[in-house]
Amino acid sequence: MTQRVEAGLRLAALTVDYPTAAGPLRAVEGIDLAVRTGAFVAVLGPSGCGKSTLLRVLAGLLRPSAGTAEIDGEPVLGPRRDVGVVFQDPTLLPWKTVLENVCLPGRIMGLDRHAYVARAHELLQLVGLGAFAAYYPGQLSGGMRQRVGIARGLLHDPKVLLMDEPFGALDAMTREQMNLELLRVWQATKKTILFITHSIPEAVFLADHVIVLSPRPGRVIDILDNDLPRPRGFGMMATPQFGARTQRLRELFNVEGGLD
Amino acid sequence: MTRRAITQYLLVGAVGIVALVAWQVAVRTLGVPGYILPAPTDIATAFGRGVERGIYPSNLAATLTAMLVGYVIGAGAGIVLGALVAEFKLVERLVYPYVVSLQSLPKIALAPLFVMWFGYGVMSKIVTVALICFFPLMVNTMTGILATERDRLDMVRSMTGTRMQLFWHVKLPSAAGHIFAGLQVAVVLSLIGALVGEFVGSDKGLGNLIQYSQASLDTAGMFAVLGILATIGMVATSLVRFAQRRVVFWEAAKRPPQGDAG
């Protein structure tokens, strides 16, 4: 325990180097970041800027080379039970049914089976897949699979949900629909969400704060506090306030060399 | 069964019948001696005589026992050791070099040794079959486990999964496709192993029967046994393929099943 216990996520002077054949490759550098409990924060940056590296550090899957990552004042030393992760490719296990996939965190963590199965059914209702519990992932569309991934991330009722470009592989229409559903799920569950994306409109649509990273090595170049009113709907995307925010983020990237 | 599938089966059957008739006519018109190439009707007669004399059940049982028991032991040991090599660096470093050098040795060459050690009975055949089935399973299990997608492992790790949980929930099922490919190869090898074992020295078995037919110049009787062997091979392969479709169903869904339409 550090002296100052602060709720939420905190990254301090975080630097991560990956070993490569040509020597260490710096993925992110000197990241300082604080996310208060219950906030929806988007991390926006070009491909390969180390966005996913941040997520892997917070998920306890990767040790930082320097600096610290803390959740509620405790340093992240490995995977934690109070964190849920939604992966880019939902990485469902094809040999397990939708229900078994959603129940996986419960099985792995050895929770009470009766309770987590009931909760899995509730979560499947929440993401609109109540009728698909007995299906296998191979029988679902990309959008449905990603919703299963979200339900799985929420099963053990984590305080924090880390989402790694969860809708990147979906078509534009499904993606917008998923964004709307995610906001609904967030409002129903009140999790702290760290959402990685390289879509400017997606970040502005979803988040309270948009953290903007530079191209590799990723550094925080700006934080946009996004106070657009909630609940948000598609209509909001047509407002001048929405346009002004996306425009501002676009300009940041034009200065920095653009997205992708 | 769809109409296309039925047509397909009928066509395959027709080709077989045409081939048999051509064989029969060729042997008869060219006057090929029966000890070189018997006509299909001669083979059928020889088979009927064998059934009457009751030579098949006990010999079939001996070969099938060697095949099945050896297969289960060899494949089982192969899967276990393959998993250990994939999971533990130490096992890999200590054992794998020996496995690789043994693998290039034709296992069949050990059959005479096993007859010396374990005698003319079924035991020496079981050992030969087990040894021959061991390698494809070991190598495939190892390869399959090492090929597990990193994302799947990270997914379970992020849930605080232990090493054992990673193995049972992710690695072993991920390797199942590879393991079944090994089981396919091994089932064919197991029949070869049983036969070679019987050729080298035996008092029973279909391989023994082939040698007996050879000694008495009973080529038709030999062909009858070859027919039985082909049937065993086909049935055993189909059984493994059936199990594969059932167990590794998610991989079968990715590529359309071969050989049947619709």
> pLDDT of B91-105, one tens digit each?
889 988 888 888 888
Chain B residues whose C-beta is within 8 A of a chain A C-beta are: 149, 151-152, 154-161, 165, 169-170, 173, 176, 248-251, 253-254
Q: Are A49 and A86 in contact (CB under 8 A)?
A: no
Smallest Cα distance from A95 to chain B, Å: 6
A95 touches chain B (CB under 8 A): yes
Smallest Cα distance from A50 to chain B, Å: 17
Q: Which residue of B has its CA nearest to A136?
A: B250
Q: Are B136 and B82 in contact (CB under 8 A)?
A: no
Predicted confidence at residue B253, as pLDDT, reads: 55
> Which residues in chain A have their CB less than 8 angstroms from residue B160's CB?
78-81, 108-109
Instruction: Say which amino acid occupies B167.
Output: F
In this structure, which topology does domain A37-63+81-256 adopt according to CATH?
A: Rossmann fold (3.40.50)
Output the 3-class SS for A205-230: HHCCEEEEECCCCECEEEEEECCCCC
Predicted confidence at residue A257, as pLDDT, reads: 60
Predicted confidence at residue B258, as pLDDT, reads: 42
Interface of A with B in 133-162 (CB under 8 A): 136-138, 156
Interchain CB distance below 8 Å, A61 and B158? yes
Tokens standing for residue B166: 């990673």
- 3-state SS assignment for residue B52: helix
Predicted confidence at residue B191, as pLDDT, reads: 96
Mutate to test the interface with A, among B149, B155, B172 (most CBs of A within 10 A): B155
The rounded distance, in Å, linking the Cα atoms of B199 and B209 is 9
Q: Residue ranges of the domains in chain A?
A: 37-63+81-256
Residue B39's Cβ-side half-sphere holds a number of Cα atoms within 13 Å equal to 14
Run of H or E residues at A48: none
CA angle B91, B74, B80 (to 5 degrees): 35
Q: Report chain A's mean pLDDT, rounded to a whole number.
A: 90
Nearest Cα to Cα of residue B197 among B136, B138, B135, B132: B132
- Crossing angle for the helix pair B172-200 and B219-247, to the nearest 10 degrees: 170
Q: At which residue do the structure tokens 């040894």 appear?
A: B131
> Which residues in chain A have their CB less than 8 angstroms from residue B159's CB?
79, 104-105, 108-109, 156
Q: What is the pTM of this model?
A: 0.85
pLDDT at residue A159 is higher than 60: yes
Alpha helices in chain A (DSSP H): 51-58, 98-109, 113-126, 142-154, 172-189, 200-206, 240-256
- 3-state SS assignment for residue A159: coil
What structural domains and CATH numbers belong to chain B? 42-252 (1.10.3720.10)
Q: Which residue of A has its CA nearest to B170?
A: A93
> pLDDT of B220-230, one tens digit each?
999 999 999 99
A24 touches chain B (CB under 8 A): no
Q: Are A120 and A151 in contact (CB under 8 A)?
A: yes
Predicted confidence at residue A114, as pLDDT, reads: 96
Confidence category of residue B262, pLDDT binned at 50, 70, 90 = very low
Which of B159, B176, B249 is facing A109, going by the closest CB pair? B159
Q: Which residue of B has its CA nearest to A106?
A: B159
> Which residues in chain A have their CB less than 8 angstroms from residue B155's CB?
85, 87, 91
Predicted confidence at residue B259, as pLDDT, reads: 38
CA angle A9, A12, A17 (to 5 degrees): 110
Which of A59, A87, A94 is facing B151, going by the closest CB pair? A87
pLDDT at residue B138 is higher than 90: yes
What is the ipTM, given to two decimal places?
0.88
> Which residues in chain A have their CB less than 8 angstroms from residue B251's CB?
94
Nearest Cα to Cα of residue B154 among A236, A83, A132, A140: A83
A168 touches chain B (CB under 8 A): no
> pLDDT of A13-56, one tens digit each?
999 998 888 888 899 999 999 999 999 999 998 887 888 899 99
Long-range CB contacts for residues A121-127, cutoff 8 Å, separation at least 24: A123/A151, A123/A154, A123/A155, A124/A98, A124/A99, A124/A148, A124/A151, A126/A151, A126/A185, A126/A188, A127/A151, A127/A181, A127/A185
Which of B159, B169, B249 is facing A79, going by the closest CB pair? B159
